[in-house]
Amino acid sequence: MEKMRLNKYLAHCGVCSRRDADRLIAEGKVTVNGRTAEPGSQAGEEDEVMVSGRPVRTAREKVVLAFYKPVGVVCTERDVHAERTVADVVKYPERVTYAGRLDKDSEGLLLLSNDGDLIQAMMKGSNGHEKEYLVRVDREVTAEFLQRMSEGVYLEELDVTTRACRLERVNMFTFRMVLTQGLNRQIKRMCTACGYRVRALKRVRVMHVELGDLKPGEYRELDREDVERLYRDCGLERPRQ
């Protein structure tokens, strides 16, 4: 491997996304050959790179996991006070990190990988990748509510109008929603703006990958065909094994 920018190197090794790598570097938590790294530093396989005192190694094989995040599990790698994190539940031999957060009180599909470039591509909002949810609210789901939500909702606290999206009523209090955007707490904010409160939220699909018959806390490795499709749909070259 040729030397590359340190944030890209950490992403390539599956440590985190490039954005999070920039944060770790700025906080002085990354060293290269015993010296604290600076923004713009470079690294390669011949260098000794450490994050928070732990050595970083190039992942030998790129993997993608589909994980059913249970309610109560926190998507974080930073909060030392979190009672139960994704890393506590997913005991996988390679270090993997997630693409797209779910709130502590939400559940459903998380995709995890040891390829930071893939994670970055899946999370990038401008790529318009679909994410599908089942949402239960505290009031009857009306045609007017579905229409307003689907056309986009202005969120005052973020000063942004959400993209148009697809909704379908499932029953009196539940609807299905497909987003191509990933704003912070987007569905809950949209519902609140429309006078509704979310009671339960489950993500059931990310791009073409479905939650399927996974139970809370379980995960499965995606097969080669699914992984190759993810790379292709993200505009990335599938790494050779």
Q: How many whole angstroms separate alpha carbon 183 and alpha carbon 171? A: 26
User: Is 103 one of the catalytic residues?
Assistant: yes
Coil, helix or strand at residue 19: helix
CA nearest neighbour of 217 among 107, 135, 111, 95:
107
Cα–chain center distance at 206: 9
Task: Give CA separation, 89 vs 65, 66, 96, in Å.
Answer: 13, 13, 12
The single residue of 22, 103, 226, 233 carrying the catalytic annotation is: 103
Backbone angles phi, psi at 132, to 5 degrees: -115, 140
- 3-class secondary structure for 39-77? CCCEECCCCCEEECCEECCCCCCCCEEEEEECCCCECCC
User: Mind telling me the catalytic residues?
Assistant: 103
